[in-house]
């Protein structure tokens, strides 16, 4: 029962603590279950004395709707109770606050983030639409975030929600003016498509920092809502064509010309079909199994097609930390193989260097560096060609390290990451004599071998070398440290400490 005073009410089985928010009829508190689990929940307390006939009907409808649905992007109603003073809705707790606060903290959301959130909201709306439920009060404050670390949207506050078939019309004003569809305000006659307008306003606010009808007064807001002017999208920030198209179709004043629910769910910017879910990942897994089978059978073209179809499902799931990189890498390889005129690449066991060369066809500078490396290998095998091989390796590595630093993540970068230490290892195996380097005007006599070795020990990158007589001190010539020193900083930043350390040992 409710306790006296201004503190939170008392409810059997729970300890109510801080107030999370309040509205016209209700106050929401954070609470802990008294059970051993100490589960954290949010409890919506509705004071009975504040309810009129309409608000009672709304509350009953909210409980009825939430009791019958369970969806990953709709806040869960766990239970409800009542006493002489209040009605208590015991809800899932969302630690990330609401979307309004999140947007205001970030000022604007990057398009990629807004797209993930929009997919999650669309998923919830599709679930409701299939059950003829309209929310009718969509706004950022009614969308909660599961956490701030890995936020997932949770649609909340179904106080104005109604069971509505697509052809049903309503006349009662519901929702918040900033997010109300024009037909709701102007004509007082509307259907389920008002939710789509509200989605457009939410997306606009996420991308541009404020809703399209932001106003200083209610009269100014009403004038903008009643206006027939087309809503123009700001030029900044730059958005993709699909994103702008969706915004314009959602923010269509005429509901008969506004995007339909089905077209919204299927829109390429939303792409619900490939949204991460148990069902979509099961389809992706089945496609990968087929692709691997075709790959093993040597049918590269069919394997590539299946891998790409699977990746259409897997790629959107990368933000969730799914390990699909191996499939992406193999698909990149197969794309290069299938498009190649070199039939030898179709055989299993193709070398990494051959694959890299094939994937470098559209990068002349990378291809030239690989050709120089091949020439260095040829010189290395020829009698007396060690010095020429060293010069060629030096040129090739200088190019490859720069290209590797600029290469975006993908299979080609992985292959480059393998190629560079391979070449460095071949340089380390050259039987070079102790020579002075006249070409670079380096005076060998001025170099202190012990000092160079000490600098390697003390750089913090090769722990454990102190007092150790390894190949760096005993078997490497004076020329080789000079070559390595030229790439030292670049190797550390591009290959990583572990790779270079492993090679030096």
Q: What is the pLDDT of residues 40-49, one digit of tens each?
A: 999 999 999 9
Please give the average per-residue pLDDT across 396-409, as a whole number.
Answer: 84
pLDDT at 157: 92
141-152: per-residue pLDDT in tens?
A: 999 999 988 889
pLDDT band at 471 (very low <50, low <70, confident <90, very high): very low
* pLDDT, the chain, mean: 78
- Judged against a pLDDT cut of 50, whether residue 180 lies above it is answered with yes
pLDDT at 483: 47
84-134: per-residue pLDDT in tens?
A: 999 999 999 999 999 999 999 999 999 999 999 999 999 999 999 999 999
For 99-273, which CATH class? mainly alpha
pLDDT at 286: 83
Query: Which of 245-249, 286-290, 347-351 is modeled with the greatest confidence?
Result: 245-249
CATH 1.10.510.10 boundaries in the chain:
99-273
pLDDT band at 280 (very low <50, low <70, confident <90, very high): confident
The better pLDDT of the pair 362, 211 is held by 211
CATH 1.20.58.80 boundaries in the chain:
371-504
Beta-bridged to residue 19, according to DSSP, are: 29
Beta-bridged to residue 40, according to DSSP, are: 32
Degrees, nearest 5: CA angle 124-129-133: 95
Secondary structure letter of residue 489 according to DSSP: H
Who's near 41: CB < 8 A, 6+ residues apart? 14, 30, 31, 32, 33, 78, 90, 91, 92, 93
pLDDT band at 336 (very low <50, low <70, confident <90, very high): low
Positive or negative: CA dihedral 200, 206, 207, 212: positive
Query: Which of 247-251, 441-445, 450-454 is modeled with the greatest confidence?
Result: 247-251
* C-alpha distances in Å from residue 377, one per residue of 239, 386, 389, 479: 48, 10, 7, 19
Least confident of 146-155, 372-381, 382-391, 481-490: 481-490
pLDDT at 163: 86
Q: Are 181 and 197 in contact (CB under 8 A)?
A: yes
Query: Among residues 137, 157, 191, 295, which one is catalytic?
Result: 137
Q: What is the CATH number of domain 371-504?
A: 1.20.58.80
Out of 1.10.20.60, 3.30.70.580, 3.40.190.10, 3.30.200.20, which CATH number does the structure's domain 14-92 have?
Answer: 3.30.200.20
Instruction: State pTM to two decimals.
Output: 0.61
pLDDT band at 451 (very low <50, low <70, confident <90, very high): very low
361: its two tokens: 């066809």
Check if 137 is active-site. Answer: yes
pLDDT at 445: 40
pLDDT at 14: 93
Secondary structure letter of residue 98 according to DSSP: B
pLDDT at 198: 97
* 49 labeled part of a ligand binding site: yes
Q: Which fold has domain 278-343?
A: Methane Monooxygenase Hydroxylase; Chain G, domain 1 (1.20.58)
């Amino acid at each position: 029962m409710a306790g006296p005073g201004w503190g939170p009410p008392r409810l059997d089985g729970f300890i109510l603590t801080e107030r999370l928010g309040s509205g016209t009829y209700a106050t929401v508190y954070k609470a802990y279950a008294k059970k051993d689990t100490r589960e954290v929940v949010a409890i919506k307390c509705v004071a009975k004395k504040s309810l009129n006939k309409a608000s009672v009907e709304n509350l009953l409808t909210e409980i009825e709707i939430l009791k019958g649905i369970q969806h990953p992007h709709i806040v869960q109603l766990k239970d409800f109770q009542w006493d002489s003073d209040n009605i208590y809705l015991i809800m899932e707790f969302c630690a990330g606050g609401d979307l309004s606060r999140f947007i205001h903290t970030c000022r604007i959301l990057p398009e990629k983030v807004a797209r993930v959130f929009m997919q999650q909201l669309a998923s919830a709306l599709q679930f409701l639409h299939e059950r003829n439920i309209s929310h009718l009060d969509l706004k950022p404050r009614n969308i909660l975030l599961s956490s701030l670390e890995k936020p997932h949207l949770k649609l909340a506050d179904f106080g104005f929600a109604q069971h509505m078939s697509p052809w049903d019309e309503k006349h009662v004003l519901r929702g918040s003016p900033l997010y109300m569809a024009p037909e709701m305000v102007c004509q007082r006659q509307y259907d389920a498509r008002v939710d789509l307008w509200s989605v457009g306003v939410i997306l606009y606010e996420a991308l541009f920092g404020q809703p399209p009808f932001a106003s200083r007064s209610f009269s100014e807001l009403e004038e903008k809502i009643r206006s027939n002017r087309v809503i123009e999208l700001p030029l900044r920030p730059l958005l993709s064509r699909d994103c702008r198209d969706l915004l314009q179709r959602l923010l269509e004043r005429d509901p008969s010309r506004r995007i339909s629910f089905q077209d919204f769910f299927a829109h390429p910017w939303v792409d619900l079909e490939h949204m991460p879910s148990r069902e979509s990942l099961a389809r992706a897994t089945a496609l990968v199994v087929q692709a691997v089978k075709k790959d093993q059978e040597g049918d590269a073209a069919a394997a590539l097609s299946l891998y790409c179809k699977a990746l259409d499902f897997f790629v959107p799931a990368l933000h969730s930390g799914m390990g699909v990189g191996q499939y992406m890498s193999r698909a990149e390889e197969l794309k290069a193989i299938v498009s190649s005129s070199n039939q030898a690449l179709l055989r299993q066991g193709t070398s990494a260097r051959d694959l890299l060369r094939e994937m470098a066809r559209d990068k002349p500078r990378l291809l030239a560096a690989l050709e120089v490396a091949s020439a260095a290998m040829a010189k290395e095998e020829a009698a007396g060609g060690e010095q020429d091989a060293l010069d060629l390796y030096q040129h090739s590595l200088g190019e490859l390290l720069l290209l590797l630093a600029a290469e975006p993540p993908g299979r080609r970068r992985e292959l480059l990451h393998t190629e560079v230490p391979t070449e460095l290892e071949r340089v380390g195996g050259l039987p070079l004599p102790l020579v002075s380097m006249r070409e670079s005007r380096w005076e060998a006599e001025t170099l202190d071998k012990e000092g160079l070795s000490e600098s390697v020990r003390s750089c913090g990158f090769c722990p454990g070398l102190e007092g150790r007589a390894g190949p760096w001190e005993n078997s490497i010539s004076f020329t080789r440290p000079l070559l390595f020193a030229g790439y030292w900083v670049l190797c550390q930043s591009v290959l990583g400490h572990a790779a270079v350390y492993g090679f030096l040992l």
